[in-house]
Amino acid sequence: QQQVKQSPQSLIVQKGGISIINCAYENTAFDYFPWYQQFPGKGPALLIAIRPDVSEKKEGRFTISFNKSAKQFSLHIMDSQPGDSATYFCAASGSGTYKYIFGTGTRLKVLA
């Protein structure tokens, strides 16, 4: 019940295209859902985060869509660029603890 399932494992997108990464969770007590970007050899960097009281949040080219009833949330990267090539992790937190439960990651490659 503490797991966060992330898909796809890897994704290849053409420059200018839309990258979509999906996550699903079981624990309805989770109340915070961040997305992180990680480059090889670096720590994860926060991209965008959402709480369950909203269904969508947009920051620049990055949008989180949140479906509370389906217990799913997704990251959309608009106008994907080669510099976006990285591994993306979704996470969830709440239920009386502040730790994050991370998904297994999606390796994104944007072709020039």
Partner 1 sequence: DTGVSQNPRHKITKRGQNVTFRCDPISEHNRLYWYRQTLGQGPEFLTYFQNEAQLEKSRLLSDRFSAERPKGSFSTLEIQRTEQGDSAMYLCASSRTSGGGTDTQYFGPGTRLTVL
In the range 53-72, which residues lie near partner 1 by CB under 8 A?
none
Look at residues 18, 32, 26, 52 and name the one whose alpha carbon lies nearest to residue 99: 32
C-alpha pair distances (Å), 94 with each of 43, 45, 50, 63, 105: 22, 20, 12, 21, 20
24 lies in the site for partner 1, by CB under 8 A: no
Of 73 and 102, which has the nearer Cβ to partner 1?
102
Q: What is the contact mask toward partner 1 in residues 71 to 110, using x (rule: CB under 8 A)? A: ------------------x-x-xx--xxxxxxxxx-----
Of 74 and 104, which has the nearer Cβ to partner 1?
104
